[in-house]
């Protein structure tokens, strides 16, 4: 049996496209179209998720992707990823250091007293998860009053620094972490140009997880937390803020700020381990980072970074330590594409399945008839 | 932020209205010859980050980049160079910023108009910085031991 070309779905597909757009505008006269600023600010966490899973820090296009996909994070990230594939690569930044981050939130679960102090920033950590019914009929006046009140508050203080030292640096200074040699590190792996052929370096794992799907990362990290692994992390520092993107000025060569990127970063300390050569035991570490404000993703990534390091070193003993298992299953675009392709016509392959089943049934019938006679 | 330092100009100008920058760049260079030392272009850049744990570099993701490098020739024959690389996908904006960079670096006619924009940008960045610091100030945790005087005791 050969494949057959069919036609006739064109009008239906166009109709489906129109229907989706009708649903977006279904409110009619009582509705107002979402503007990009509204999505970026009032759906901040959704927006951040799409930024990171799309792998492209383009706040305006991420908002547009959310709008056109009616809030479907996977579709929105897909649109952003598709857009990036049409653009030429112009450059790569120098290696940026997150100690330069302009922090808006910074906490530690390891120490209560950290240099510079802990700042909760904007968080739902302490929310009661009760419905705020007053928002059901929020008036524009009430909405604007909140921002106005915030700006009128005179409690701001210029003695707060823009940047803060890392908690890990104090542990490193105390000899509790292994020394690092910044100069010895190779060029990072570029997952946008090279396929993942295992074994891959850690930089490939970090880049893959940085644009991985939040739920996928969380699920595999959760398996480790529950017992299919033994990372037992302590969050040394979790920070949210803006990292300045520095690029050389084409004329002077001096580094100038081309813009800034909102990101989340998590550094975890895990169980200590000693080297084989009788070196001093030190804490092991894990690292997570992503575009936007997405703490669950950053923490899950840090746990997986730690478990993958274990798997790369000693061989995996559970799924979360297996680089191939983790890295080939956390990309939202890949997994969504494979999943949804099952909706597409499989008429020929299913016809083949039916033919095989009928043949097998006929053989079974003949066998049972033979046994009875 | 010092508005006289060249390294700050792009950030300061990006903080003001982009349309205003383009209009002013066009207005200032009216009648001047403009030559591209490299064609204005827009595309992507890879953001390379050093991980905070093991200090290894990796790519966090991509960012939009627009860049331009121009040479201006004034009516008297003098030449001035300017360039810009900015996180945006508008190459016309990059060209306008490169023109601004040339005008400011060489104190050409119109630099005073741009200085006004730089100051506006500085004011906006100061306000943004104040807002961020307010987030930190208002949520700074003041730890105290249970039983010691603190928030709980004051309110109960």
The per-residue pLDDT for range A25-52, each reduced to its tens digit, is 999 999 999 999 999 999 999 999 999 9
Residue numbers in A near B136 (CB within 8 A): 103-104, 106, 119, 121, 160
CA distance B35 to B80: 10
Domains annotated for chain B, with CATH where assigned, are: 6-46+59-138 (3.30.390)
Helix (H, G, I), strand (E, B) or coil at A147: helix
Asked whether the predicted pLDDT for residue A9 surpasses 90, the reply is no
CA distance B156 to B154: 6
What pairs with residue A286 in β-bridges?
A268
Q: What is the mean pLDDT of residues A70-79?
A: 98
The per-residue pLDDT for range A112-121, each reduced to its tens digit, is 999 999 999 9
**Torsions phi, psi for A271 (to 5 deg):** -60, 150
Nearest CA-CA partner of A261 in B137, B45, B97, B57? B45
Q: What is the mean pLDDT of residues A82-101?
A: 97
Residue numbers in B near A255 (CB within 8 A): 7
Q: Are strands A282-291 and A255-273 parallel, antiparallel or unpaired?
A: antiparallel
Element (H, E) at A50: helix A44-54
Q: What is the mean pLDDT of residues B134-145?
A: 89
Asked whether the predicted pLDDT for residue A188 surpasses 50, the reply is yes
Q: What is the mean pLDDT of residues A234-245?
A: 98
Q: What is the mean pLDDT of residues B116-145?
A: 92
pLDDT bucket at A155, cuts 50 / 70 / 90: low
Asked whether the predicted pLDDT for residue A251 surpasses 50, the reply is yes
Residue numbers in A near B61 (CB within 8 A): 52, 55-57, 207, 210-211, 291
Asked whether the predicted pLDDT for residue B105 surpasses 50, the reply is yes
**What contacts 24+ positions apart, CB below 8 Å, involve A116-121?**
A116/A161, A116/A164, A116/A165, A117/B140, A117/B141, A118/B140, A118/B141, A118/B143, A119/B135, A119/B136, A119/B139, A119/B140, A119/B141, A120/B139, A120/B141, A121/A240, A121/B135, A121/B136, A121/B139
Q: What average pLDDT does the structure give for chain A?
A: 94
Residue numbers in B near A302 (CB within 8 A): 53
Chain A: give the shortest CA distance to residue B90, in Å: 12
Q: What percentage of chain A has pLDDT greater than the value 70?
A: 95
Mutate which of A247, A265, A285 to test chain B, going by most B C-beta atoms within 10 A? A247
B148 touches chain A (CB under 8 A): no
Element (H, E) at A347: helix A347-372
What is the predicted pLDDT for the residue at A271? Answer: 87
Using CB atoms and an 8 Å cut-off, which of residues 111-140 of chain B contact chain A? 129-140
The per-residue pLDDT for range A156-171, each reduced to its tens digit, is 566 889 899 999 999 9
What is the predicted pLDDT for the residue at A154? Answer: 61
pLDDT bucket at B6, cuts 50 / 70 / 90: very high
What does chain B look like in DSSP terms, one character per residue? --TT-HHHHHHHHHTS-HHHHHHHHHHHTTTSEEEEEEEEEEEEEEEEEE-TTT--EEEEEEEEEEEEEEEEE-TTS-EEEEEEEESSS-HHHHHHHHHHHHHHHTT-TTHHHHHHHHHHHHHHHHHHHHHHHHHHHHTB-----TTSSSHHHHH-
Asked whether the predicted pLDDT for residue B37 surpasses 70, the reply is yes
The CA-atom distances, in angstroms, between A339 and each of A16, A52, A54 are 20, 21, 18
Better pLDDT: B156 or B136: B136
B106 touches chain A (CB under 8 A): no
Q: Which residue of B has its CA nearest to A171?
A: B53
pLDDT bucket at A233, cuts 50 / 70 / 90: very high
Q: What is the mean pLDDT of residues B6-29?
A: 96
Element (H, E) at A47: helix A44-54
How is chain A split into domains, by residue range?
Answer: 10-84, 98-336
The per-residue pLDDT for range A265-320, each reduced to its tens digit, is 999 999 887 666 677 899 999 999 999 999 999 999 999 999 999 999 999 999 99
Q: What is the mean pLDDT of residues A339-343?
A: 95
Residues 6+ apart with CB under 8 A from A106: A114, A116, A118, A119, A121, A164, A237, A238, A239, A240, A241, B136
Helix pair angle (B91-105, B18-28), 10° resolution: 50
What is the predicted pLDDT for the residue at A3? Answer: 59
Chain B: give the shortest CA distance to residue A4, in Å: 41
Mutate which of B38, B53, B68, B127 to test chain A, going by most A C-beta atoms within 10 A? B53
Q: Is A5 exposed, middle or buried (0-12, 13-18, 19+ CB in 10 A)?
A: exposed
What is the predicted pLDDT for the residue at B155? Answer: 45
What is the predicted pLDDT for the residue at B156? Answer: 40
CA distance A260 to A351: 55
The CA-atom distances, in angstroms, between A168 and each of A117, A178, A268, A282 are 14, 11, 9, 12
Structure-token match 């003949």, residue found: A366
Chain A: give the shortest CA distance to residue B122, in Å: 14
Q: What is the mean pLDDT of residues B41-58?
A: 97
Using CB atoms and an 8 Å cut-off, which of residues 5-64 of chain B contact chain A? 6-11, 14, 38, 41-64
Q: Which of B43, B59, B130 sits opposite A207 (nearest CB)?
A: B59
Better pLDDT: A180 or A366: A366
CB contact (8 A) between residue B133 and residue A257: no
Q: What is the mean pLDDT of residues B44-70?
A: 97
Q: Which residue of A has its CA nearest to B127?
A: A151
Better pLDDT: A180 or A171: A171
């Amino acid at each position: 049996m050969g494949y057959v070309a069919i036609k006739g779905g064109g009008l239906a597909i166009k109709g489906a496209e129109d229907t989706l757009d009708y649903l977006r505008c279904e409110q009619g006269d009582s509705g107002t179209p979402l503007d990009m600023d509204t999505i970026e600010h009032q759906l901040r966490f959704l927006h951040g998720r799409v930024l990171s899973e799309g792998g492209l820090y383009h706040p305006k296009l991420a908002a547009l992707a959310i709008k056109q996909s009616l809030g479907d994070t996977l579709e929105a990230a897909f649109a952003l990823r598709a857009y990036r594939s049409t653009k030429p690569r112009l450059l790569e930044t120098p290696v940026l250091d997150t100690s330069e981050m302009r922090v808006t939130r910074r906490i530690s679960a390891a120490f209560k007293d950290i240099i510079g102090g802990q700042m909760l920033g904007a968080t739902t950590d302490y929310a009661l998860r009760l419905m705020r019914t007053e928002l059901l009929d929020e008036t524009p006046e009430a909405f604007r009053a909140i921002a106005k009140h915030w700006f009128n508050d005179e409690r701001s203080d210029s003695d707060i620094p823009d940047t803060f030292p890392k908690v890990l640096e104090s542990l490193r200074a105390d000899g509790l972490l292994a020394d690092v040699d910044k100069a010895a590190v190779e060029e990072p792996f570029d997952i946008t140009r090279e396929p993942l052929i295992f074994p891959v370096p850690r930089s490939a794992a970090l880049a893959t997880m940085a644009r991985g799907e939040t739920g996928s990362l969380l699920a595999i990290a959760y398996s480790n937390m529950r017992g299919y692994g033994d990372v037992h992390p302590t969050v040394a520092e979790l920070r949210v803020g803006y990292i300045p993107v520095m690029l050389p000025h084409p004329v002077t060569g001096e580094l100038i700020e081309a813009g800034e990127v909102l990101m989340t970063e998590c550094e975890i300390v895990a169980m200590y381990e000693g080297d084989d050569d009788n070196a001093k035991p030190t804490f092991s570490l894990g690292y997570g980072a992503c575009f936007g404000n997405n703490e669950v993703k950053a923490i899950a990534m840090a746990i997986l970074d730690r478990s993958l390091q274990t798997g790369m070193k000693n061989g995996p003993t559970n799924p979360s330590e297996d680089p191939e298992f983790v890295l080939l299953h956390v990309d939202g675009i890949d997994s969504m594409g494979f999943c949804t392709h099952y909706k597409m016509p499989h008429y020929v392959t299913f016809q083949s399945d039916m033919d095989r089943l009928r043949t097998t049934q006929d053989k079974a019938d003949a066998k049972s008839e033979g046994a009875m006679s | 932020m010092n508005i006289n330092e060249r390294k700050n100009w792009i950030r300061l100008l990006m903080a003001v209205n982009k349309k205003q920058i383009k209009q002013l760049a066009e207005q200032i260079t009216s009648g001047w010859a403009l030559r591209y030392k490299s064609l204005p272009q827009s595309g992507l850049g890879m953001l390379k980050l050093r991980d905070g744990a093991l200090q290894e570099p990796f790519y966090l993701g991509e960012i939009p980049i627009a860049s331009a490098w121009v040479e201006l020739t004034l009516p008297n024959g003098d030449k001035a160079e300017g360039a810009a690389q900015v996180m945006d996908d508008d190459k016309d904006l990059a060209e306008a910023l490169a023109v601004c960079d040339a005008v400011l670096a060489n104190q050409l006619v119109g630099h005073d108009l741009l200085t006004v924009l730089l100051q506006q940008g500085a004011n906006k960045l100061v306000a943004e910085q104040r807002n961020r610091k307010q987030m930190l100030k208002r949520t700074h945790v003041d730890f105290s031991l249970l039983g010691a005087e603190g928030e709980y005791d004051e309110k109960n």
